[in-house]
Amino acid sequence: MPGPPMLQGPFQVPSFNGYIPRRLQPWIYLLFAFIFLMSGGIYGGAMSQVMGEYSLMREDVLMIIMFNVVGVAMPFPFLFKMKFHFTNRQLLLNAALVVATCNFLIMWTDSVPLMCILAYIAGFFKLCGTFECMSTIQLWMTSKRDFTIFFPLLYCIVLGNMFLSPWVTEHLIYIYQDWRIINWAMTGALLLVAFIVYVTTHDFRFMKPLPFISIDYLGCILWSAWMLEFIFFFTYGEHYNWLDSKIMQMDVLLFIFTGYFCIQRMLHIRHPYIEPAAWKYKRLVPLLILFAFVEFMGSTPKVLQTAFTGGVLHFGAITTNVLNFVEWVGALAGCLFCLFWCKVLCQKYTRLLTIGVATMVCYPVMMYFLINPGLNIEALYLPCFLRSFGNAIFFCMLTVYLEELMPFQHFFMGLTMAGIIRNGPMSAMCSGLYSFGLRYQMADNMSRGLPYDATNLLMLSIRNLYGITCLIGIAVLIIFLLWDVQPVRSTLKKMPSWNFVGKRMKKKKGFAK
């Protein structure tokens, strides 16, 4: 396999017009990627305002947000087919205009199904725009296409936006007293992206366009529906009292039938959305279990921390919003620590996962001992920082491990398979189970006739669930300490150049590992 091309002089984006300075070009694309990742449909920081204006349930708004999250996971198997058919200019223009349109339209409808569809489309195209930006400047970030450099830097932006977006949203809403301000702001930013791309770039191709064929659109829809049916069950489970409701029973049946059609279609068509061979790697299942563990540990604050800060400490949204900033700092620190570990200390990248587990376990352990009705918000800074720090380590290193595990032919399918775990379903399941556990603990404590008021009973219930989380996290940490996870290979493999990938796709041959 030929090595990556050597850069001659400063990095240059070939689609830019000549009057754009070379040194400025990659920073412009980095800004574009930041704007794409910041965009969405309904923003989590605006949840309470949307609920109040449209008289929606919390579950309705969560479901809209989850449609956006699922949409982000689904384009991966299509990305290179789009990259080798359309130009960079076409892809960025279309992505920016589609996401801007969805951001605009979602402000003027109160229909939950329509909001869900718009949020899904926005998520799908924001990932397309982000990929096009980051793949274009990849050689600027690492001239040797070294994923132990690329992924930590990439997740600085991705994870940073996950925590920075709610922080920015809530501050804008607090200033302007209107939840639509974030949609107006993002619509304007995306239209500015489209304008800059239109004015400063031209169509450039490094090879003849490949036919836009062999794309399993129906498979993408089926897998999306399968994920969303799973999310629906755990999002609305508490509201509809789980399987006692006919709606939940129908959802379970739909989930089974949709899963059956997904598998049958995958096995019986020539170019499925996810190929059967992509599921057969020996270490894939343990890797997906690790992704599930990360989501389990990461979902704790969504229910328990929110219940504690709101129901016990009675903090408002602006007060607790500072925790999003703390988590943003933790995510950046975790990504940069991965880079330091792999490139400066030159330690085995898989051993870093043990440090990630340890820092994530510190969060529930510290919260278990911190819970009391007079706690200051500053006491939550360190546990939130450590949780975000460990989460960033896992995201970076597990993605590197996935790239090492799977050949390039299946790697982007593998990202969607990981997305089936981490992009919504596991988070919704853990949040639903925590909500059920909190209600169960409250009922159990009340039935025992404990001499406490409602606030103290809630605090006791939260501490019990944090204790259970501690036990699970410590058990996983002990496994990591006793079992040294071995890498797939002794040296990291090289990512092929785009020319090489395009030629192999054109010949319809597999990719060598």
CB 356 within 8 A of CB 393: yes
- pLDDT score of 511: 41
- The phi, psi pair for 214, rounded to 5°, reads 60, 45
- Buried-exposed string 28-59: b where 16+ CB fall within 10 A, e elsewhere: bbbebbbbbbbbbbbbbbbbebbbeeeebeeb
In this structure, the number of other CB atoms found within 10 A of the CB of residue 485 comes to 18
The one-letter amino acid at 437: G
In this structure, the number of other CB atoms found within 10 A of the CB of residue 481 comes to 11
Q: Which residues pair with residue 16 across a beta bridge? A: 201
In this structure, the number of other CB atoms found within 10 A of the CB of residue 19 comes to 6
> Mind listing the pLDDT tens digit for each residue in 249-299?
999 999 999 999 999 998 888 888 888 888 888 888 888 888 888 888 877
- pLDDT score of 499: 56
Q: What CA–CA distance (Å, rounded) separates 93 from 438?
A: 46
Question: Running DSSP on this structure, what letter comes out for residue 84?
Answer: T
CB 37 within 8 A of CB 158: yes
Contacts of 14 (CB under 8 A, 6+ apart): 204, 206
Tokens read off for 265 = 């279609």
- pLDDT score of 251: 92
Q: What CA–CA distance (Å, rounded) separates 463 from 187?
A: 42
Q: Assign residue 346 a region: left if phi > 0, alpha if psi is -120 to 50, beta otherwise?
A: left
Q: What CA–CA distance (Å, rounded) separates 123 from 490?
A: 37
> Looking up tokens 């702001």, which residue turns up?
185
Q: What CA–CA distance (Å, rounded) separates 45 from 172?
A: 10
**If DSSP codes are grouped into helix, strand and coil, which group holds residue 267?**
helix
**Spans of the chain, pLDDT less than 50:** 1-8, 487-491, 509-513
Q: What CA–CA distance (Å, rounded) separates 324 from 306?
A: 12
In this structure, the number of other CB atoms found within 10 A of the CB of residue 460 comes to 15
> Mind listing the pLDDT tens digit for each residue in 429-487?
888 888 888 888 888 878 777 677 778 888 888 888 899 889 988 888 888 777 655 54
13-215 topology per CATH: Growth Hormone; Chain: A; (1.20.1250)
Torsion of CA 32, 105, 415, 213, to 10 degrees: -100
DSSP one-letter string for 394-429: HHHHHHHHHHHHS-HHHHHHHHHHHHHHHTTHHHHH
| 0.75 exceeded by pTM | yes
Q: What CA–CA distance (Å, rounded) separates 430 from 103?
A: 29
Domain boundaries defined on the chain: 13-215, 217-270, 282-513
Q: Specify the CATH number of the domain 282-513.
A: 1.20.1250.20
The one-letter amino acid at 183: N
Q: What CA–CA distance (Å, rounded) separates 322 from 326?
A: 6
> Looking up tokens 């380590």, which residue turns up?
393
Cβ burial, residue 474 (10 Å; 0-12/13-18/19+):
middle
User: Which stretches within 177-273 are classed as H helix?
Assistant: 180-200, 217-236, 246-268
Residues listed for the chain = 513
Q: Assign residue 314 a region: left if phi > 0, alpha if psi is -120 to 50, beta otherwise?
A: left
Q: What CA–CA distance (Å, rounded) separates 66 from 72?
A: 10
Nearest to 306 by CA among 58, 67, 54, 38: 58
The enclosing H or E element of 510 equals none
DSSP one-letter string for 425-443: HHHHHHHHHHHHHHHHHHH
